[in-house]
Structure 1
């Protein structure tokens, strides 16, 4: 008989709440039977009308208990509304008394369950205890009720206990949903930070070079027109490459960029206490080679951090090749699946590039080199 909060705010949640509440109204059949058996008259009519309003009020009260009060994002609505609803239920139950007699004690179970579910827990339990005491007192002191009304007080206590358990379950579910939402927000924030970092890596150096080359070209216009044209061509190529990297990062979201991988390699090697020599820029690398070179740096640096036990590493970058060497223990690292050397070799083959991976000649350590035909 315990009410349940609706699943989601709005129309769907309201519908789910009143359907759940209506299921338990069959226990009011005893009240209905007692009223129907009562001789026709004013109190019978008042009792039947009060019973119908009691059922309607209970459904509306439970259906509006959408959120738990004790956790953010929980139920119910304002506390005053719940108190007014409980007082209305009590008044409608008492209006049935002249015609229904002790059968109105069934209403106490509904009032107790609604109080425990809708009010702050301390107040709800207090109402349930008060109702149980009142029911037990009525059974003992109202003439003619003791023999036929045994068990109502116990039913009130059991309904309150069951509702309490359901409420705790709903509150735990609310906390879980809240935690999931917070994790989702953190994931979004992390993703935004990652994209912002990639864009910074891509644009930071490129825009600086663009500014320098534009200034140089402007100065050369009156001195060396051919060199000024060459600088402008380089400027155009650099701008197009930077734009391609930005598009890959912004549209693919999980795209990989060469400047970003150089920056990531610097951070990873520093974290592994590996002294690294890395290129300061990737402006000379054509757009068609950048993704492959970025994957090469990522895989080679990953192997250095995981397997090599190296103390020094170097990334050598040119327009047609990238080479990563270290002074570690050498030997082939463990296969890495799709993102390992096998996957890297497949990527190189797709572009007609040549991959060399193995121990360095005459020096300790491991070498990964990718060459792209000119």
Structure 2
């Protein structure tokens, strides 16, 4: 035989090519799907602002005058705004982080060591939004903050790590899972591109192999008839023109991903192609006997089998059997010989991908190609 949802920092601000593909649209550059975090990440961040109640209470309990308390509250509000904008496209993560650190430090004269209550916000923003490798370095820095408790700083809560480390771990895991998802999505996209290229190659091979074989047979027949039966030779030449036009249309449709095999059409065309090559055809069963789910694939198998019989078998008779399990094409030619070609490999890949089984056996004499589905 021949021939989701991902963290905003994990997916970035701009979709990158290589992550997905629409086979019907051709082999263009694939893109990542829309990321809800890019549109609604600020809303999720805003929910956690409720924990800024702790520095607000600390300001209210402070001994400074109302002017100092007002200034500290304004810093907290600014901190909250910068935090929310850090998860949006309106402010870069670096600027947001810098503003948050500056505003948090500005509250130190009022709330003192209570400034550490801002740390979880800084940590999670760093883990999710900073670019690689800076987010990893920032995560290490923020995770080290609880170690300050060893210095026995006045008022520093020794249990602070119970709050900060789980937050850091959650942010880091979200970032890692998001990046893993990106890699997996890109791998699926690359696989889809390769599969699409292989599909186009198989389809073009099948279309051109069948059509060129038919053209060659018809041209040889017309050459033999041109002196003894000019009228019949003219018919064959007109048939060659029609076949060439059909082949061109099929190649265009195949490259566009629009072509599907038609078993009924192939069953009508096969005896004609075989007859031109001097091969008699006997058909057992009909299209109605086959499983509708597999008819397009069976059409491809029939076309490729007929092409191979005409080109290589030297047969005089072909039997085409159709049934509920699949299709079988048997010839009485010279049998198998040589390595497996592209055509048979293409058939095997198609059938295997659809959950079927393809077998090529000796028919004594000739060859039998069977395709069966469970």
Shorter chain as denominator, the TM-score bin is: 0.5 to 0.7
1:174 aligned residue: 182
Task: Give the deviation of 1:95 after TM superposition.
Answer: 1.8
2:354 aligned residue: none
Task: Give the deviation of 1:117 after TM superposition.
Answer: 2.9
Q: Structure 1: 5+ residue runs without aligned partners?
A: 66-76, 262-278, 303-312, 325-332, 342-359, 369-374
1:344 aligned residue: none
1:4 aligns with one of 3, 7, 10: 7
SS of the aligned residue for 1:254 comes to: coil
Task: Give the deviation of 1:30 after TM superposition.
Answer: 0.8
Segment drifting more, 152-161 vs 166-175 = 152-161
CA distance in 1, matches of 2:75, 2:69: 10
Task: Give the deviation of 1:87 after TM superposition.
Answer: 2.0
CA distance in 1, matches of 2:33, 2:367: 60
Is the 8 Å Cα contact of residues 132 and 156 (structure 1) preserved in structure 2? Answer: yes
CA distance in 1, matches of 2:171, 2:124: 6
The yes-or-no answer on 1:96 pairing with 2:107 is: yes
Q: 1:264-303 residue pairs with structure 2 within 5 A? A: 284=276, 298=301
* TM value normalised by structure 2: 0.57
Task: Give the deviation of 1:56 after TM superposition.
Answer: 2.2
Is the 8 Å Cα contact of residues 14 and 64 (structure 1) preserved in structure 2? Answer: yes
CA distance in 1, matches of 2:138, 2:298: 67
1:164 aligns with one of 141, 147, 172: 172
SS of the aligned residue for 1:165 comes to: helix
SS of the aligned residue for 1:253 comes to: coil
Q: Structure 2: 5+ residue runs without aligned partners?
A: 1-5, 12-31, 288-296, 306-311, 329-361, 369-374
Is the 8 Å Cα contact of residues 86 and 96 (structure 2) preserved in structure 1? Answer: yes
CA distance in 2, matches of 1:234, 1:290: 23
Task: Give the deviation of 1:322 after TM superposition.
Answer: 3.2
83 and 284 in structure 1: CA distance in 2 versus 1, 3 angstrom threshold: same
1:27 aligned residue: 51
Q: 1:308-347 residue pairs with structure 2 within 5 A? A: 314=313, 316=315, 322-323=318-319, 337-340=324-327
Is the 8 Å Cα contact of residues 213 and 235 (structure 1) preserved in structure 2? Answer: no
Q: 1:221-240 residue pairs with structure 2 within 5 A? A: 229-240=231-242
Larger-Rg structure = 1
Is the 8 Å Cα contact of residues 208 and 247 (structure 2) preserved in structure 1? Answer: no
Q: CA RMSD for the aligned pairs?
A: 5.1
1:275 aligned residue: none
180 and 132 in structure 1: CA distance in 2 versus 1, 3 angstrom threshold: closer
Task: Give the deviation of 1:103 after TM superposition.
Answer: 2.8
Q: 1:8-157 residue pairs with structure 2 within 5 A? A: 12-38=36-62, 41-64=66-89, 81-119=92-130, 123-134=134-145, 136-137=147-148, 140=151, 142-143=153-154, 145-146=155-156, 149-157=157-165
The yes-or-no answer on 1:185 pairing with 2:185 is: no
Q: Cα deviations across residues 31-90 of structure 1 (Å, max 9, x unaligned)? A: 22223445663332222222222222222223459xxxxxxxxxxx9xxx4433322221
1:255 aligned residue: 261
Is the 8 Å Cα contact of residues 316 and 323 (structure 1) preserved in structure 2? Answer: no
